[in-house]
């Protein structure tokens, strides 16, 4: 069990665990139970750390997806890669929706993840347009990475 953070220093440690994908479920629980004094200075540093960690996870998810796609293997591995990407994006949206953060900033964090998911889905659909059979586009539309 990870203790809920209450100071900036505690939050910095939790965000580091979040960035490194260490014990995601317990980190998520701690983040959602934590509190923070949202004041000038702390807010900016907190936001910077959280966005850095979120971007690192978004990039890692995209890299993992690309690696899975480059292996090939047909429909099964493609569907698994799409589902794994959706799960990670869904987790990130849930993770950055931190109750201790003011609603306006919290919504901005979630929106950043949503925009990345929408962008990834559009890119996948656009790249599938080159498949004359339509099968690839069908698979991508039936397993949307932004459907969370």
Name the residue ranges covered by the structural domains of the chain: 8-142
List pLDDT tens digits, range 10-48: 999 999 999 999 899 999 999 999 999 999 999 999 999
What mean pLDDT is predicted for residues 121-140?
A: 91
> What is d(CA 33, CA 113) in angstroms, rounded to the nearest whole number?
21
Tokens of 36: 């923070």
Check pLDDT > 90 for residue 70.
no
Question: Residue 18 contacts by C-beta under 8 Å, 6 or more apart in sequence?
Answer: 24, 27, 31, 53, 57, 95
Q: Tokens 């609603």 map to which residue?
A: 103
């Amino acid at each position: 069990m990870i203790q809920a953070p209450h100071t900036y220093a505690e939050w910095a440690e939790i965000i580091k665990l979040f960035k490194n994908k260490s014990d995601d479920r317990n980190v998520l629980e701690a983040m959602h139970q934590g509190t923070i004094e949202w004041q000038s200075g702390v807010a900016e540093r907190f936001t910077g750390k959280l966005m850095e960690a979120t971007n690192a996870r978004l990039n890692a998810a995209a890299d993992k997806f690309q690696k899975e796609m480059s292996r090939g293997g047909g429909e099964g591995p493609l569907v698994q890669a799409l589902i794994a990407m959706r799960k990670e994006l869904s987790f990130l949206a849930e993770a950055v929706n931190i109750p201790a953060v003011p609603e306006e900033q919290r919504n901005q964090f979630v929106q950043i993840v949503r925009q990345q998911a929408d962008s990834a889905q559009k890119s996948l659909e656009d790249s599938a347009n080159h498949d004359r059979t339509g099968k690839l586009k069908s698979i991508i539309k039936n397993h949307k990475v932004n459907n969370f």
